[in-house]
Amino acid sequence: MSMFYIHQSVCVSAQKTNGVIDLDDIQPIKDNKLQAIEPNYDAIPPAMYRRMGRAVRLASGAALPLLNTLTFNGIVMGTANGGLEDCIKFLNQIVDYNEGKLTPTNFVQSTTNAIASQLAFFSANKGYNNTHVHRGLAFENAALDVGMMLNEFPDNSYLLGGIDEISAYQYNIESLANMYKKEVVLNTELYNSKTAGCIPGDGCAMFAVNKQKTGATAKLKAIGTLHTDKEEDVTQYLKHFIEKNVKDDALNLFLSGENGDSRYLPYYNACKKIVLNVKTEGFKHLCGEYATASSFALWLACYKIKSNNLKNVLIYNNFRGKQHSFMLVGDV
């Protein structure tokens, strides 16, 4: 199935990706996290803004410039956890007030579909509206959903987004699960780290996509996902993916989702061997690790294709060694 063209995009991340883009001035970790720099919220009514949790806020800030200038037939988001901070705030209310009279704001904001629906309310968009929450493949499934919508309705345009937040609560849960580095590792030194754990991050990338080539920045040519913990399954899948999709076109860049966690590095190294002569770059030193970090990678691929005149960029990401994805992004 052919996918779609990416026209405009907005990326809110820990780096200077929104507004004046400067990826050379690498922003450092703060409190061992790479939290997204909050965008400008002037377009959000203050009363509404006050109710928003971080995830809804970041997504709104990233999407509003697109929603205010373009028309979409639908909105599809990928987010593993949505507003988890609101969720725990409400949970804390339940416990602290012993199931008494509680205020519903956090509860309503905590549902993962609150993001896509908030964007629909902003733009009075009554079209297709879906939220994929499949952890490390939430964004990939959202992209696939949009790909299918455009296969079914080739004249349409969609807003596609990937978004996750890192809150103090999420940090606690994942730290208990040994997901984050226990020692301080600078993000500029991320790929030299030999220990387990990653640097957590968060952010949001929004894409205006359709089937029209004219005026597009890049094309998402193919997407593939796989669940496995076996290295050979991943390499076999990659070989097949390249055979099927890359054809004679040169691959200029391999964007590797390695996150400095020694436990998951073997998957990336095995894939690098298959694209041996292709330049490889990481991206998690920029955005940190989160379930929908591949949406940052897609934004980065589009940016590099345009600014460096690249032809084809292959993104490989895995989430905790179990959920793997490949995205092939090409020039127009």
Contact footprint for another protein (CB under 8 A): 1, 75, 80-82, 87-88, 90-95, 98-99, 101-104, 107-114, 116-118, 120-121, 123-135, 137-138, 141, 144-145, 148, 151-152, 169-170, 172-177, 225-228, 233, 322
Closest CA to 186 of 13, 12, 14, 11: 14
Nearest approach, Cβ of residue 1 and another protein (Å): 6
CB nearer to another protein: pick between 11 and 298 = 298
In the complex, least distance from residue 254 CB atom to another protein, rounded to whole angstroms: 23
Quick check: 316 and 280 in contact, CB under 8 A? no
- Shorter beta-carbon distance to another protein: residue 170 or 294: 170
Least distance (Å) between residue 167 CB and another protein: 9
Are 278 and 254 in contact by the 8 Å Cβ rule? The answer is yes
CB of 192 to another protein, least distance (A): 28
End-to-end Cα, the chain, rounded Å = 18
- Rank residues 28 and 104 by Cβ distance to another protein and give the closer one: 104
Angle, vertex CA 158, rays to CA 156 and CA 164, nearest 5: 170
How many angstroms separate the Cα of 129 from the Cα of each of 87, 92, 155, 321? 22, 30, 17, 30
Cα distance between residue 6 and residue 332, in whole Å:
9
Element (H, E) at 62: helix 54-67
Paired with 207 in beta bridges are 9, 160
Of the pair 64, 190, the CB lying nearest another protein is at 64
What's the rounded Cα separation, in Å, for the pair 220 and 119? Answer: 23
Output the smallest distance, CB 179 to another protein, in A: 9
Q: For residues 1 and 20, which CB has a smaller minimum distance to another protein in the complex?
A: 1
Q: How far is the CB of 16 from another protein (least distance, A)?
A: 30
Least separation in angstroms between residue 253's CB and another protein is 26
- Which residue is associated with the tokens 């995205």? 327
Residue 128 or residue 283: which is nearer to another protein going by CB?
128
Q: Using the minimum distance from each CB to another protein, give the nearer residue, 140 or 258.
A: 140
DSSP helix, strand, coil percent of the chain (3-state; round to 5): 40, 25, 40
The string of DSSP codes covering 39-55 is ---TTS-HHHHHH--HH
DSSP-assigned beta bridge partners for residue 312: 330
> 1 vs 276, which CB is nearer to another protein?
1
Query: Do residues 105 and 111 lie in contact, with contact meaning Cβ atoms separated by under 8 Å?
Result: no
Beta carbons within 8 Å of 21's beta carbon, 6+ residues apart: 303
Nearest distance from residue 277's CB to another protein, in Å? 28
